[in-house]
Amino acid sequence: MLKKIRTILKERFPEFENILPKGYQRVGDILIVSLHPSLIKHEKEIGEIILKNIPNVRVVCRKTGPVKGETKKPQLKVIAGDKNTETIHKEGKCIYKLDVRKVMFSKGNINERHRLQKQVKEGEVIVDLFTGIGYFSVGIAKFCNPKIIYAIDVNPIAIKYLKENIKLNKVEDKIVPILGDCREVVKKLGKVADRVIMGFLPRTYRFLDSAFSVLKEEGGIIHYHDAFKEEDLFEKPIEILKNVAERNGYKLSKILYKGIVKSYAPRIYHIVIDAKFSK
């Protein structure tokens, strides 16, 4: 399908052949593209070509910038289709409702979501510090039978959709949605977590003290996402984990997994480390 679109665009804009979009992100019936600055004056026509030639697409949006702030608000502009950017996205047997202009949804993390589900053991207490609309929490609740997931986010719109997604996926008894800054919320939760999920970028290390403050006294597992330069992998993030653990009375007992999730910027990568800590 992308090959067909590129062929049409090449015929219409032969002078821009080398800078035509090479891919897109599809969320439900909404398609999101990035355009070279030279193509922005043609955005409406490009959007209409995409809308006409890709089945079951209702809206085409253009990225206008990176996600903003701790609420991770997307920067998108509708360039074709109707103005309603709320959609239902299906991923395997999970259903996510969201508005792509108000909350982030990263399809690039799908493999990481599936990988994490294989790690969780039945009966665990999990704290998801940056839950969003439930990217990690919904799948874990649906397939892993945890005791409970405390799903925290500072963005009220994300929590609104999380609550809807909890109902859509019928996991009301497994997830407790909590609106607030995770650094404050964990003070009330206490040391309850067998497993802490830190799905936030960048500079996630700023929240590691909060992750340890909610980890059980005897220890547990932290899934640490962050962005690091290529030359710092993986020594620097592991050193950070060791140092913050010691500061909080824990020790890094084992690295269970370390990997690159995706490229974040030139020579900078979104990485994840699953680390087990003990007292």
Q: Which pLDDT score is estimated for 137?
A: 97
Q: Which pLDDT score is estimated for 276?
A: 98
Residues 158, 45 share a domain: no
Residues 156, 43 share a domain: no
| Residue 35, domain member (yes or no) | yes
Q: What is the mean pLDDT of residues 182-186?
A: 97
Question: What is the percent of the chain with per-residue pLDDT over 90, rounded to a whole number?
Answer: 85
Q: What is the mean pLDDT of the chain?
A: 94
Residues 262, 139 share a domain: yes
Residues 125, 248 share a domain: yes
Residues 129, 48 share a domain: no
| Residue 240, domain member (yes or no) | yes
| Residue 115, domain member (yes or no) | yes
Q: What is the mean pLDDT of residues 70-95?
A: 93
Residues 242, 138 share a domain: yes
pLDDT at residue 118 tops 90: yes
Residues 116, 54 share a domain: no
Last residue of a domain, one of 84, 115, 138: 84
DSSP the chain: -HHHHHHHHHHH-GGGGGGS----EEETTEEEE---GGGGGGHHHHHHHHHHHSTT--EEEEEEEEEETTTTEEEEEEEEE-S--EEEEEETTEEEEEETTTS---GGGHHHHHHHHTTPPTT-EEEETT-TTTTTHHHHHHHS--SEEEEEES-HHHHHHHHHHHHHTT-TTTEEEEES-HHHHHHHH-S-BSEEEE---S-GGGGHHHHHHHB-TTEEEEEEEEEEEGGGTTHHHHHHHHHHHHHTT-EEEEEEEEEEEEEEETTEEEEEEEEEEE-
Instruction: Give the tokens for residue 54.
Output: 């890709």
* CATH number for the domain harbouring residue 33: 3.30.300.110
Q: Give 159's strand partners.
A: none
pLDDT at residue 1 tops 70: no
The residue with greater pLDDT, 39 or 3, is 39
| Residue 99, domain member (yes or no) | no
Q: Residue 3: which pLDDT band, with cuts at 50, 70 and 90?
A: confident
Q: What is the mean pLDDT of residues 72-83?
A: 94
Last residue of a domain, one of 84, 114, 130: 84
Rounded-to-integer distance, Cα 86 and Cα 83, Å: 9
Residues 140, 23 share a domain: no
CB 30 within 8 Å of CB 63: no
Q: Cα-atom radius of gyration of the chain, to the nearest Å? A: 20
Q: Residue 108: which pLDDT band, with cuts at 50, 70 and 90?
A: low
Q: What are the b/e assignments for 73-109, b being 16+ CB within 10 Å?
A: bbebebbbbeeebebebebeebbbbbbbbbbbbbeeb
Domain region containing 77: 2-84
* Predicted TM-score (pTM) of this structure: 0.93
Give the other-Cβ count within 10 Å of 248's Cβ. 15
pLDDT at residue 252 tops 90: yes
| Residue 92, domain member (yes or no) | no
| Residue 39, domain member (yes or no) | yes
How many domains does the chain fold into? 2
Q: Which pLDDT score is estimated for 67?
A: 85
Instruction: Give the tokens for residue 203.
Output: 């500079």
Residues 273, 206 share a domain: yes
| Residue 165, domain member (yes or no) | yes
* CATH number for the domain harbouring residue 224: 3.40.50.150
The residue with greater pLDDT, 121 or 71, is 121
Rounded-to-integer distance, Cα 34 and Cα 217, Å: 46
Rounded-to-integer distance, Cα 133 and Cα 248, Å: 30
Rounded-to-integer distance, Cα 4 and Cα 278, Å: 54
Between strands 125-128 and 148-153, the pairing is: parallel
Q: Which pLDDT score is estimated for 23?
A: 85
Q: What is the mean pLDDT of residues 222-250?
A: 97
Q: What is the mean pLDDT of residues 263-269?
A: 92
Q: Give 27's strand partners.
A: 30
Residues 80, 132 share a domain: no
Q: What is the mean pLDDT of residues 26-30?
A: 96
Residues 155, 78 share a domain: no
Per-residue pLDDT tens digits for 138-168: 999 999 999 999 999 999 999 999 999 999 9
Q: Residue 195: which pLDDT band, with cuts at 50, 70 and 90?
A: very high
- Asked if the peptide bond before residue 234 counts as cis, ω within 30 degrees of 0, the response is yes
Residues 120, 73 share a domain: no
Last residue of a domain, one of 84, 119, 151: 84
pLDDT at residue 26 tops 70: yes
The residue with greater pLDDT, 237 or 24, is 237
| Residue 95, domain member (yes or no) | no
